[in-house]
Amino acid sequence: MALEKELETYRAKLAELLPSEGKYVLIHGVDVVDTFAAYEDALKAGYQRFGLEPFMVKQILAIEPVYYSSRSLANYSKAI
């Protein structure tokens, strides 16, 4: 899975990040680089600092939304 380290870092540091809930965090490996008010600013900083190396930009949320689909994706793949 892509960005496993970054997701692990986010989960481990979430309690420390929650005072900035709603902002976006830039994570590279096990390092929390910075937080930003806008997604675009965090993404730009990530590309400037790390180029094409993997990094993650994620909104800091106490409760993660659950996404679902009302259609079966198994049937969709057969139709393509």
Distance CA 10, CA 67 (A): 19
In terms of residues, how long is the chain?
80
Q: Which residue has the tokens 């993650």?
A: 56
Q: What is the mean pLDDT of the chain?
A: 91
Q: What is the structure's pLDDT at 67?
A: 85
Question: What pLDDT, on the 0 to 100 scale, is given for residue 50?
Answer: 97
Statement: residue 27 has pLDDT above 70: yes
Separation of alpha carbons 27 and 14, rounded Å:
12
Average pLDDT rounded to a whole number, residues 67-78? 66
DSSP state of 15: H
What is the 3-state composition of the chain as percent helix, strand, coil, each rounded to the nearest 5? 45, 20, 35
